[in-house]
Structure 1
Amino acid sequence: MDRYQAMATFIRVVETGSFSAAARHLNVGQPAVSKTIAQLENRLQVSLLNRSTHGLTPTEAGQRYYERARAAIAEADEAELAARGAGTGLSGRLRVSAATTFARLHILPQLPRFLADHPELGIDVILDDRIIDLVAEGVDLSLRMGDLTDSTAVARKLATGGRSVLATPAYLEKSGEPCSPADLAEHETVIYSQLPNVWSFTRDGTEISVAVHGRVRVSAAEGLRAAVLADMGLTIASDWMFGPELATGAIRKVLSPWELPAIDLWAVFPSGRMASAKARAFALFVEAVMAEGE
């Protein structure tokens, strides 16, 4: 039994929930999938799947094996990319989706470097703050921030960034600087409508949650940036969103002793199939770009 193939087959079974669906994704017959899983369980001497009329779900041992197997395959793929120069000779087109503001500030300015390394490769960048259906849109890789709501998503964490309460010096000069989270009730806040308007802070083991209200609500990060830079109020945002302005002092952090939950950047690949070499190479590139900015 090919261990790599067995791991890949088991991953597909877990992610699709059935032998037949996994077989379709792997382009093999259902009996071959069933036989591979039976051989795998026999070799490991443990049951990996719960079988019921509702489908297949991993046992506790199966879940541990799934997580390790998925990580092992990802590492093996990345080792192959590294061995041949992170994908030298990549060609065709790569479709990437990303939040508009994040891509404009951090990805698009660096894109010439990636394209120079791969002259036979073209890239479609889909700018959208929404979470889109990767399979339906034919996307090879999505850059997403925050918590992943889909537990079956095939994802790799690329970076972790800070969140802060931010405002312009002009707004703070006019309205004063809050000294504690409770002071936010006395301030104008610009609210990003795609996130909850309850902000949670911690300091020295103490946690406090504050519900904020603002006259301005925006549905896209570009609007949030524009409103804050127009001195319309405080906001909570990732440091990535206002990176250039934080560097120049055009935006300031307040309530710094109070910590907000960090935000993760993920490379998310379509479920149900192994990520392409192009997608993995681009994920490695973005990971390197974000590390340079730390």
Structure 2
Amino acid sequence: MDRLQAMAAYVRVVETGSFSAAARQIGVGQPAISKIVAQLEDRLQVRLLVRSTHGLTPTDAGLRFYERARTAIHEADEAELEARGAGAGLTGQLRVSAATTFARLLVVPHLPGFLARHPDLQIDIVLDDRLIDLVSEGVDVSLRMGQMSDSAAVARRLARGRRSVIATPAYFALAGMPTLPAQLAAHEAIVYSQLDNDWVFRKDGAEASVALRGRVRVSAAEGIRAAVLADMGLTINSDWMFAPELASGAVVRVLTDWALPPVDLWAVFPSGRLASAKARAFADFVETVLRQPPTALPPAGTA
């Protein structure tokens, strides 16, 4: 392993906090990572890491080396891309995290075109509805919806989506179609347990507050979709989560003259690290996908 690769390995060790986690991310054995760090310490004639009950901690010298090494790796990546030219493809591995349903419906079906433009790029997608630690998981860019609660995060808003009251025509045929937000209290709602289900509707300066209640609570968006498509009830959700079905008429919106709070999609990059060209290009790709009209989206089940 050359010097730049050794520096990259050391950076992963510091960011993950262990030799084993860094080895898993790089795809080598733990002894190889331990040997690389030992060789770096021999070359530099300084101790870079100390062991503690909390894992591996960089020394003062190790922390200074980490900062410089991280910058050098980023600059090397950018220099290589610039030398290849603006039209050249990206290379190496890109690790992305995203909510399962959003990625299945709106990202994965469009990946063939992105990968065709960058034949030397490999993408590792971590699908999880929960927020994960980007540094410890080795994630280059995460797609997150909602408000950004972490003020230290490096984030870029890619799109702002609409929220709607959504159900199947069959459900509304049985339960009736609400014409006022207050009428939602009489309906069976599929409740997303990870969200506050108290909603404020606005229309012409007026406000109406509604608390969704239902016998079915689901912890993942995929379950919300399954329950709604099984005619079990209505939901308040982003149009992104039902984009194929809204386009086909399999589900419909109601109370469309009332506005709900919009939902933002963010590209989040690991704090303390410059976003790589690969991560920025992927964020650009997702932003372009979401500019397409719903009729241009692939049908459900193609992902």
TM-score (normalised: structure 2):
0.70
AA matched with 2:203: R
Root mean square deviation, CA, Å: 2.3
Residue in 1 that maps onto 2:225: 225
Give the Å deviation of 1:204: 0.8
Q: Does 2:268 match 1:268?
A: yes
Q: Give the 3-state SS of the residue equivalent to 1:237 in structure 2.
A: strand
Q: Does 2:128 match 1:128?
A: yes
Q: Does 2:29 match 1:27?
A: no
> In structure 2, how many angstroms separate the alpha carbons of the residues matched to 1:119 and 1:229?
37
Is the 1:189–1:215 contact (alpha carbons within 8 Å) kept by the matching residues of 2?
yes
Give the 3 Å change call, closer, same or farther, for CA 179–276 of structure 1 in structure 2.
Answer: same
Residue in 1 that maps onto 2:40: none
> In structure 2, how many angstroms separate the alpha carbons of the residues matched to 1:110 and 1:92?
20
> In structure 1, how many angstroms separate the alpha carbons of the residues matched to 2:132 and 2:62?
22
Residues 80-229 of structure 1: pairs in structure 2 closer than 5 A: 84-85=86-87, 88-229=88-229
> In structure 2, how many angstroms separate the alpha carbons of the residues matched to 1:21 and 1:258?
56
AA matched with 2:67: L
Residues 241-280 of structure 1: pairs in structure 2 closer than 5 A: 241-280=241-280
Is the 1:25–1:272 contact (alpha carbons within 8 Å) kept by the matching residues of 2?
no
AA matched with 1:129: D
Q: Give the 3-state SS of the residue equivalent to 2:136 in structure 1.
A: helix
Give the Å deviation of 1:152: 1.2
The aligned length equals 224
Is the 1:25–1:273 contact (alpha carbons within 8 Å) kept by the matching residues of 2?
no
Give the Å deviation of 1:212: 1.7
Give the Å deviation of 1:291: 1.1
Give the 3 Å change call, closer, same or farther, for CA 214–113 of structure 1 in structure 2.
Answer: same
> In structure 2, how many angstroms separate the alpha carbons of the residues matched to 1:188 and 1:22?
55
> In structure 1, how many angstroms separate the alpha carbons of the residues matched to 2:62 and 2:283?
27
Q: Deviations over 1:224-260 (max 9, x none)?
A: 0000001111100100000111011110101111100
Give the 3 Å change call, closer, same or farther, for CA 195–22 of structure 1 in structure 2.
Answer: farther
Give the 3 Å change call, closer, same or farther, for CA 183–21 of structure 1 in structure 2.
Answer: farther
> In structure 1, how many angstroms separate the alpha carbons of the residues matched to 2:92 and 2:144?
24
Question: Which sections of structure 1, spanning at least 5 residues, go unmatched?
Answer: 1-19, 29-75
Q: Deviations over 1:75-126 (max 9, x none)?
A: x99xx79x713xx231111000011111111100000111111111100011
Give the Å deviation of 1:278: 0.7
Q: Give the 3-state SS of the residue equivalent to 1:89 in structure 2.
A: coil
Give the Å deviation of 1:197: 1.6
TM-score (normalised: structure 1):
0.72
Q: Give the 3-state SS of the residue equivalent to 1:261 in structure 2.
A: coil
Give the Å deviation of 1:23: 5.3
AA matched with 1:174: L
AA matched with 1:142: S
> In structure 1, how many angstroms separate the alpha carbons of the residues matched to 2:147 and 2:93?
28
> In structure 2, how many angstroms separate the alpha carbons of the residues matched to 1:288 and 1:22?
38
> In structure 2, how many angstroms separate the alpha carbons of the residues matched to 1:160 and 1:26?
35
- Report sequence identity in percent: 65
> In structure 2, how many angstroms separate the alpha carbons of the residues matched to 1:125 and 1:293?
25
> In structure 2, how many angstroms separate the alpha carbons of the residues matched to 1:106 and 1:89?
22
> In structure 1, how many angstroms separate the alpha carbons of the residues matched to 2:257 and 2:244?
22
Q: Deviations over 1:154-190 (max 9, x none)?
A: 0111111100000100000001011111101111000
